Amino acid sequence: MPFLKALAATASAVVLGASLTACAGSPAGGDPGTGGKVIVGIKFDQPGLGLKEGDGYTGFDVEVAKYVAKDLGYTEVEFKETPSAQRETLLASDQVKMIFATYSITDDRKKKVSFGGPYFQAGQDLLVAAANTAITGPETLNGKKLCSVTGSTSAKKIQDQFANQVQLQEYDTYSKCVDALASGSIDAVTTDNVILAGFAAQAQYAGKLKVVGKTFSTERYGVGIKMGDTKLCNAINTSLAKMVTDGSWQKALDATVGKSGFTPDTAVNPPKPDACA
């Protein structure tokens, strides 16, 4: 009997411990204003947006992440790679607190995660060899080999709307697609124009690749957070608005995406954050 009693006491202590942790925030970071370290998800291979270079990180997503994290009172940011297909899982399992990774806000994703923002608007496009004159838009992809990334809106759009025309090759990152394009094993890469422009501007692809320049979707980049964390969502939106007003948003964009020669659509950028549900 005493043994069972002890066991029951341990069990309730464990449960209590778990709920206390949940109140204080996730293992990836506390609530806004509580300070400490925050784990933030970004891409590691997208030049101009989220790129790991040695021990450092560069890109527009990285700059927005740093601004927001600091404004929310976190004293340290740890960046973790969040490939497209893993984003919802990494948020739900508390491995990252926020994701800034060319992460489009969609109704489908809102069933699993919530979003602050948007903080940028892009559109799906195509990247082809500089000499390619045959591919001028998605309707010209008949019989072509097209590469995109698993778990992205880009791959889904092709599956949903152009699947009977193209052979879709999916990798886990866009850099693998771009390598395949440069080596000639595929005909085109599809994802957001701003991502493609960043790759095309890389020194190793100079003069070899071009963005077609005819977008066929609307991609609104949000800050992915755990589903239902309205407090965090509101805090992020306040930070994003501040980032635009004090000029930091434009400065960050010019210093990153601007360097790839990409001109964002100023009619829709910077976008106004959505209301938090």
Residues that bind ligand GLU (CB under 6 A): 84, 101-104, 149, 152-154, 191-192, 219
CB of 181 to ligand GLU, least distance (A): 16
Task: Give the nearest distance from C-beta 142 to ligand GLU in angstroms.
Answer: 23
Nearer to ligand GLU, 37 or 227 (CB): 227
Q: Least CB distance from residue 190 to ligand GLU, whole Å?
A: 9
* Residue 15 neighbours by CB under 8 Å, 6+ apart: none
DSSP structural state of residue 2: H
**How distant, in Å, are the alpha carbons of 40, 181, 194 from that of 255?**
21, 27, 14
Residue 143, phi-psi category: left (phi > 0), alpha (psi -120 to 50), beta (remainder): left
User: Which is closer to ligand GLU, CB of 32 or CB of 273?
Assistant: 273
3-state secondary structure of 258: helix
Q: How far is the CB of 174 from ligand GLU (least distance, A)?
A: 7
Residue nearest to ligand GLU (CB): 152
Name which of 98 and 101 has its Cβ closer to ligand GLU: 101
Give the C-alpha distances (Å, rounded to integers) separating 233 from 98, 122, 223: 10, 21, 8
Cβ at position 254, least distance to ligand GLU in Å: 21
**Please, which residues have CB within 8 angstroms of residue 208's CB and are 6 or more apart in sequence?**
129, 130, 182
C-alpha distance from residue 171 to each of 81, 85, 155, 176 (Å): 15, 10, 10, 7
3-state secondary structure of 159: helix
Residue with tokens 């100079």: 206
Least distance in angstroms from the C-beta of 196 to ligand GLU: 10
Nearest Cα residue to 60 out of 254, 270, 256, 261: 256
Q: Which is nearer to ligand GLU, 30 or 82 (CB)?
A: 82
**Closest to ligand GLU by CB, 70 or 110:** 110
Q: Compute the least distance from the CB of residue 43 to ligand GLU, in Å.
A: 7
**Nearer residue to ligand GLU within complex by CB, 74 or 100:** 100
- Comparison of 154 and 237: residue with beta carbon closer to ligand GLU: 154
